[in-house]
Structure 1
Amino acid sequence: MRLATYNIEWFANLFDRDDSLIADDSWSGRREVTKAQQIEAVAKVLTAIDADAVLVVEAPNTGKAQNTVRALQNYAETFDLRTSHAVMGFANDTHQELALLFDPDVLKARHEPVGQLDDKIAPRFDGVFHIDLDVDATEDWVRFSKPPMELIVETAHNTIFRLIGAHLKSKAPHGAGSRDEMIRLSIANRRKQLAQAVWLARRVETHIEAQEPVILLGDLNDGPGLDEFEHLFGRSSVEILLQAGLYDPHAAQAHRRRPGSVPATARFERREEGRYLEALLDYIMISDDLRDRHPAWRIWHPFRDAACWSNSELRDALLTASDHFPVTLDIDL
């Protein structure tokens, strides 16, 4: 089975209020890319990776008129993708939903959130988490702006596992009017992100203790060297999740004492500097009980993956579709 996570930048902009595609020459949310160009590029990438299930990060919006599942299934039908069914968890207010596109002939998936809203240890993901992260005797109250999606998945071979899709809060200090305010906002955002990671880790530990296989995937917006505040709290959100009993070889490599060349799953243009920034943000983490299922990870990076580089059509599609690249996991399930 092949699982994938793919952050599709500004995907919601490609759909109208009736969840139909806007395949015209108007600009998408991506710089110098039209909606029609991005729509086609995303389809080429999804066809190339040929996953049995894809976590779509920044999926189309659910609101008063729009519906994420309907939009994704319309998209899959338009391009005859075998991942023809979609499921999502809790909707949010950011126009960036989390949803799973999947092949119904390979697996079944349903939303099954765990925990109670008033649980003090690990509440349900649409609840409030109480934690004192900075040891100041003051309890912080944390909410997910994008509640993680919790699914129970059953494969055609009757293997059952828990799948958690996540998109943690960005650390960018938006709205800062001064250097001091930027520092304050950056530290506050870092604190919130770590609290979300602790919350996720506790849920993962609950499943592991119950001997339920777990796969956590998505955009964790964390990796080595992303900002100057990453060492302030002693560990990153990725390290917190690894310590909960999860494994991802790219995360493990990046967090070694001497990591060497760090993998990258995203590429952002820094126009004011005349260069691109690359970062490791997207992960597929598995519990230890799945490590004997012959897992094999791949980052579909247009310049670092030899097969992607040699296929000019795929390489261009990866660069046009999003500022993130898909990560896939092949595993015997």
Structure 2
Amino acid sequence: MPKLRITSFNIEWMNDWFTNDSDQPAFRDSFIREDHISNTHVTAQRAANTIKEIDPDILAIQEAPSRPEELGLFIKKYLSVNEKPIYDFILSDAGFQQKLAILTKPNVINSIKLAPHFTIANLIDEWLADIDGDEQLEVYQFTRLPLVVNVEVGGESLQIIVLHTKSNFVNKGREMWENLATRQNYIHEALRNRRRNSAEAMRVRQYIETMLKDKRCEKSIILGDFNDGPGMDYFEKNYLTHNTTDVLVGSTYEPEFIYHHAQHDISSNLRYTSIFDDFVTGEKNKHILLDHILLSPALSTNHGLRRVRGSGNIHHVEYERNTVNKGFYRENRPSDHRPVSVILEY
């Protein structure tokens, strides 16, 4: 029975590896991140080795480079066999320096195409939302437009929605939080970012519910960096009283439309993709699941294209094998996110 591994990987600031957009597309020899000069080849090789060890048939990338020529260079240099690229790719035209991309093995899937604009207008057009908490609706649009592709495989149709929702990051956040004079300003900005994140999640949820109810695309996957994990952080618990992932998964009032979380297959102590210090709660090395794969109900059946039970994975082994010095500098790690994957069969 044929199987298909689908992986999501936020490859931290790939755009650092390449020349400025005004110049001819080419790799830089080195780049600066975290006030440290990192070797581009060493960094890119770590990411590529991680990908090759996982060996996905379909790979969704967040924080891809800004130009298709640059992603093509990465694939040609690091993801090729005998100078033949392993993957074809589609790079989103939105996202500035942190774009979304889909890589596919051409000999595995039958076809892959961008979803036509008219079918995803609710995802890419502006809408009204209160992202400031001022009880006023204002025009809003995704920080990074979702990348939506229609895939044909094994005689069936599958829609893949790649997300990289609004980051919760606040510039000089630690400094603002630790200074009582500016703490309230930090809280305001932190909540604003989470409201934007939540608004984006709600928009996607509305889109997929319409698709499911109209039976236009019953088999779909939402995956990527949601900048949010199961459970609630300090601001979600004390101010918003909800999180992004729960909004995307769906409501128990309509269980037939609830999406399955593939990373639930992982034991709870390994259910994380990123580690950071939470200066708000004082928690050091906080483990959080920011990267997710959600599968529509029709992919959890016993026939046709469907998920392999228990196949949800977070690739700690492959990540750690390509990390040195505890990943302290950018060139020491494949990324600041661990990849996640799931296997489908048909």
TM-score class normalised by the smaller sequence: 0.7 to 0.9
Q: 1:3 maps to which residue?
A: 6
Q: 1:256 maps to which residue?
A: none
* 8 Å contact kept, 2:263–2:313: no
CA offset digits 1:98-146 (Å, max 9, x no partner): 0111111112222114558xxxxx8443321213579865223321121
For 1:99, what is the secondary structure of its paired residue? strand
* 8 Å contact kept, 1:187–1:229: yes
Structure 1 position 220 matched with structure 2 position 220: no
CA offset digits 1:193-225 (Å, max 9, x no partner): 111100010111122123311101100000146
Q: 1:119 maps to which residue?
A: none
Question: Separation in 2 of the partners of 1:236 and 1:251?
Answer: 17
Q: 1:44 maps to which residue?
A: 49
The root-mean-square deviation of aligned C-alpha atoms, in Å, is: 3.0
Question: 1:300 pairs with 301, 315, 318, which one?
Answer: 315
Which 5+ residue runs of structure 1 have no aligned equivalent?
62-66, 117-121, 254-258, 303-307
Residues 159 and 126 of structure 1: CA distance in aligned 2, closer, same or farther (over 3 Å): same
Question: Separation in 2 of the partners of 1:47 and 1:163?
Answer: 21
Q: 1:130 maps to which residue?
A: 128
Residues 179 and 50 of structure 1: CA distance in aligned 2, closer, same or farther (over 3 Å): same
* 8 Å contact kept, 1:88–1:111: no
Question: Separation in 2 of the partners of 1:206 and 1:318?
Answer: 45
Residues 142 and 262 of structure 1: CA distance in aligned 2, closer, same or farther (over 3 Å): farther
State the TM-score, normalizing by the size of structure 2: 0.78
Question: 2:291 pairs with 260, 282, 290, which one?
Answer: 282
Q: What fraction of aligned residue pairs are identical, expressed as a percent? A: 24
Question: Separation in 1 of the partners of 2:73 and 2:326?
Answer: 21
Q: 2:104 maps to which residue?
A: 102
State the TM-score, normalizing by the size of structure 1: 0.81
Residues 47 and 215 of structure 1: CA distance in aligned 2, closer, same or farther (over 3 Å): same
* 8 Å contact kept, 1:83–1:101: no
Higher mean displacement: 140-149 or 278-287: 140-149
Runs of 4+ in 1 over 4 A off after TM superposition: 113-116, 132-137, 315-319
Q: 2:330 maps to which residue?
A: none
Q: 1:322 maps to which residue?
A: 335
Q: 1:166 maps to which residue?
A: 163
2:313 counterpart letter in structure 1 = R
Question: Separation in 2 of the partners of 1:278 and 1:251?
Answer: 15
| Larger helix fraction of residues | 2
For 2:112, what is the secondary structure of its paired residue? strand
Residues 34 and 269 of structure 1: CA distance in aligned 2, closer, same or farther (over 3 Å): farther
1:246 counterpart letter in structure 2 = Y
* 8 Å contact kept, 2:7–2:58: yes
Q: 1:246 maps to which residue?
A: 259
Shift of 1:263: 0.8
Q: 1:291 maps to which residue?
A: 300
Ranked by relative contact order (alpha carbons within 8 Å, sequence separation 6 or more), the top structure is: 2
Shift of 1:269: 6.3
* 8 Å contact kept, 1:45–1:317: no
Residues 285 and 274 of structure 1: CA distance in aligned 2, closer, same or farther (over 3 Å): closer
Residues 274 and 289 of structure 1: CA distance in aligned 2, closer, same or farther (over 3 Å): closer
For 2:192, what is the secondary structure of its paired residue? helix
Residues 56 and 148 of structure 1: CA distance in aligned 2, closer, same or farther (over 3 Å): same
Question: 2:64 pairs with 37, 59, 62, which one?
Answer: 59
Q: 2:272 maps to which residue?
A: 264
Aligned residues: 305
* 8 Å contact kept, 1:245–1:287: yes
Which 5+ residue runs of structure 2 have no aligned equivalent?
177-181, 251-256, 328-332
Shift of 1:180: 1.2
Structure 1 position 204 matched with structure 2 position 208: yes
1:331 counterpart letter in structure 2 = L
2:314 counterpart letter in structure 1 = I
For 2:316, what is the secondary structure of its paired residue? coil
